[in-house]
Structure 1
């Protein structure tokens, strides 16, 4: 398998088990996990250990105090940002993801802030849900599905 330099970005995550599970996926795929503060939990090993198991110590983790501090430090190109929201107008299956993509997810209760999504309509994607009885999916499940889809586009299908 190739070694993509994609990154998973969690903006103000609230649930340690989701963050731990996403961290484990990042370790499995050798991807960086970027966390944007504030968190809804303490980022000590104990609070994420259950989902991240003993892999948490291997997570390539970067933290930023705010979305703006992330933008200032990383300077991601606009077309390298992919935002995921349940009401995104485009499907996660539409783009061919850039190898250095930033896959950005919001917090579990509110998603991404409108200030982040401002003027980014063409960069917002959703994971399809066929049954209208389901309002949303678990963040860790969505992030894993998106990461594998993004990697699939890099591996040529």
Structure 2
């Protein structure tokens, strides 16, 4: 049996470049990338492939038509789910991430939908920003920072 693996989950991503860049990071770290529809683009778009460069074909990709379809199929336990929002009450440095964690990110313009976050207040984390003039960070940058923090022990940090 294979070792448990962290998974990156993008809920209704809108920008193909971000998804491509996150796909490339997923390949680099041997992670599954889970995409929840609807998307703001087609996975066939050049921008996705360009951001993922020639690595996109190696992305371990799973797609779901909805959040509920994802839950029904994957059946994650509550302690496996970690949601990332700019206004999380805890930071990405607070939790101990299990090896089989699901790292869940929302779309670029709205974040995660209320129906996904409902009742998950203690599972929502943020990446700290020190200057209040910055409203948000790029999704691909946040996802990369989070995954490296989550995998710190596994990567020798």
TM-score, normalization: structure 1? 0.95
1:68 deviates by 0.1
Q: CA deviation at 1:45?
A: 5.5
Q: Which one has the bigger helix percentage? A: 1
Deviation of the 1:47 alpha carbon: 3.5
CA distance in 1, matches of 2:155, 2:141: 21
- Aligned residue pairs: how many? 155
Structure 1: state its 5+ residue gaps.
none
1:19 aligns with 19
CA 67–156 in structure 1, closer or farther in 2 if over 3 Å, else same: same
Q: Which residue of 2 aligns with 1:99?
A: 99
Quote the residue 2:78 is aligned against: 78
Q: Name the TM-score, length of structure 2 as normaliser.
A: 0.95
SS of the equivalent of 1:83 reads strand
* Aligned partner of residue 20 in structure 1, secondary structure: helix
Q: CA RMSD in A?
A: 1.3
Whole-Å Cα distance in 2 between the matches of residues 4 and 30 of structure 1?
11
Runs of 5+ unmatched residues, structure 2: none
Aligned to 2:58: 58
